[in-house]
Amino acid sequence: MIDFEFEPQVIERLKLYHTIAEQMMRPISREYDEREHEKPWQFFETMWSAAGAAAEFQPGGREKKEGAGVGARARNLYTIATTEELTWGDAGLFLSIPNAGLGGAAIAAAGTPEQKQRFLGPFRGGKPKWGAMAITEPGCGSDSAAITTTAVRDGDEWVINGTKIFCTSGQMAAEKSEGFIVVWATLDKSAGRAGIKSFVVPHGTPGMTVVRVENKLGIRASDTAMIVFDNCRVPFDHILGSPEINRERGFKDVMATFDATRPIVAAMAIGVGRAALDFVRDFLNQQKIAIRYGAGLYRLTAAERDFIEMEVQLKAARLLTWRAAWMLDAGRQNSLEASMAKAKAGLAVTQITQKAIELLGPLGYSRRMLLEKWMRDAKINDIFEGTQQINLLIVARRILGYSSRELS
């Protein structure tokens, strides 16, 4: 039976995160949207010292023993709920918070127990971890199987060469203490998908260079980097999982990363969608406009119908997302559900934020309010971690039982 119920201490912690979102993130949201390449260090310092927030909030982070700590029995579901609360505050600031991030989710999904402990273990000396994942390349976007970055074994090391673009939090992960980047590379191009593996590259590794930080439409408080790997050497045991190429299995082990990360991105979308929906609801209440939920469809105004439809779409996306996370915690295959959640949430938040601006008219379009910013922040959720089109294609393959060759 699906169970979304949290322990009392988890509920209290989520309330704490909502308070952080409301009182710490919202007040500086506009400032760091405009100052894209500056970092809110005071906010970071507060997060590091806030009751273990920096250590505990790690999407896909360190394994916890049964009963140990907040959300131990529902780690992924707790991560989803936490993500939703903090992105309600600000999606860009959320992505900039020091944590293991999507790189941590990759390690949790594809790493060995020893690797999870080594790379995702407690911070040393109170220093925060910065994690990122590098997949996309200049000639390879949605088709991850077309990766050209190579990893060649040289004795007890791997030598990585290639260029990665649009790496979220890549600058901080590559340059800051305790940072790391999980890089996707091919061991054997002739093996196709089966030859692709992921590697952990610690910060400051010679041969890993951040060559550009992007200027973006949304999530501007976070950095998005282009990183070049030029004869970048990492120890042999930094490959996640087995170095063996299994042509029958393909790169399912590497792709399992998305089963953990796509629900996180979907939760980000839900947080932004909630922010827009809550804002519109409060605005309508201030104008003494009530939503008549009990009225018949043809008795509702156009604004009422629009608002109710926005709520419906957000709730549908949320249930899909929570289910995908719950399945991961239960040890069940969730590839279909993760893609369904990602596709639905990305589309829903894009439509919700656009409709929110439409309902408020010129006020919504102006920079006096955060609605226009939320619309800009929303769109990325329909793009990264697999575009909506790619995720819908995956859903179709899973439901119909077709391979990527049969349905592309």
Integer angstrom CA distances of residue 173 from 10, 179, 201, 352 = 28, 4, 10, 32
Contacts of 296 (CB under 8 A, 6+ apart): none
For residue 136, the 8-state DSSP code is: -
Using CA atoms, how far apart are residues 389 and 339, in angstroms rounded to an integer?
Answer: 10
Positions annotated as catalytic residues are 385
- The answer to whether the CB of 333 falls within 8 A of the CB of 320 is no
Compute the half-sphere exposure of residue 31: CA atoms within 13 Å on the CB side of its CA: 9
Half-sphere exposure of 141 (CA within 13 A, CB side): 5
Report the run of H or E that residue 316 belongs to, with start and end: helix 302-329
Class of residue 399 by CB neighbours under 10 A (exposed 0-12, middle 13-18, buried 19+): exposed
What's the alpha-carbon Rg for the chain, to the nearest Å? 21
Q: Say how far apart CA 373 and CA 318 lie, in whole Å.
A: 22
- For the four alpha carbons of 61, 67, 71 and 76, in that order, the dihedral sign comes to positive
Q: Are 180 and 207 in contact (CB under 8 A)?
A: no
Output the CA–CA distances (angstroms, integers) from residue 172 to 62, 100, 226, 258, in the order listed: 20, 11, 12, 22
From residue 12, give the alpha-carbon distance in Å to each of 6, 15, 19, 23, 66. 10, 5, 11, 16, 20
Distance CA 85, CA 83 (A): 5
**Do the Cβ atoms of 63 and 116 come closer than 8 Å?**
yes
